[in-house]
Amino acid sequence: MKEQSSLAEERAEIYLRLEQYSDIFSDFDMRPFGRRALSIDFLEELKRAATDADQGGIELMLHIPEKDRNESEEEVIKERLAVHFKKHFHLLSAEKHRVLKLGRSMVIMGIIFMVAATFIVFKDPSESLFLSFLVVFLEPAAWFLLWEGMDQIIFNSKNMNRDLNFYRKMFNSHKHIYFKSY
C-alpha cells in the first residue's frame, strides 16, 4: 500500500473541466472518437498544465457533467489519447535523433573540409589554379558546416525539448487518465 501511495504522490495531478467529450477533439474532424484528431486547444491547455509537472508522471482527471458520462466512450477516448501520446512521442524522438545526426554529420564534414584545406595550404596552392580554387571553396564550406552543425546540435534539438518532454510525460502517464463527474 505504501508503494502505491508514494507513486501517487510522485504524480502531478491535472484537472480539466470539459462540457462534453467532444471538447477533447477537433471540431472539424467528424470521425468517431477512436480515430478523431485531438483539439489543439485541449493539447495546449494540457501542455500548459503539464509544464510544472516533474518527470515522475502525470495523473490526468477529466471532469465531465454526470448526466453526459458514458463509460464505453471514456475507454475509447483513453485509448485514443494513449495512441496519440505514444505516436507523437516516438515521432518527436525520431525527429530529434535525426536533427542530432544531421548536426554531427555537418560538424564532421566541416572538420574534414578544414583538414583538407590545411593540407592544401601546406602544399602551396599557388602552384595550381585547381588547388587555389579548392582552398577558396573548402574554407568557407568548412566554417559553414561546422557552425550550422553546431546550431543543429545545440539550438534546434533544444527547441524540441518542450514538446518532447510533454509527450514523454503523457506517454508515461497514459494509464493514469481518469474521468470524473461534476
pLDDT value at residue 124: 74
For the whole prediction, is pTM greater than 0.85? no
Phi and psi at 70, nearest 5°, equal -145, 110
pLDDT value at residue 7: 47
pLDDT value at residue 150: 97
The string of pLDDT tens digits covering residues 20-38 is 999 999 999 898 888 999 9
pLDDT value at residue 9: 52
DSSP string, 51-102: TT--TT-EEEEEEE-GGG--HHHHHHHHHHHHHHHHHHHHHHHHHHHHHHHH
Query: Taking the domains of the chain in order of start, what are their residue ranges?
Result: 2-90+172-181, 93-161
The string of pLDDT tens digits covering residues 80-113 is 999 999 999 999 999 999 999 999 999 999 999 9
pLDDT value at residue 2: 41
pLDDT value at residue 40: 95
Name residues of the chain where pLDDT drops below 50: 1-8
pLDDT value at residue 125: 66
The CB-based long-range contact list for 1-10 (8 Å cut-off, 24+ gap) reads: 8/59, 10/54, 10/56, 10/57
Residue for grid cell 487518465: 177
Looking at the DSSP assignment, which residues form a beta bridge with residue 61? Answer: 15, 178
What is the distance between the alpha carbons of residues 103 and 84, in angstroms, rounded to a whole number? Answer: 28
Q: Is 33:25 a contact under the CB 8 Å cutoff?
A: yes
Residue for grid cell 490526468: 60
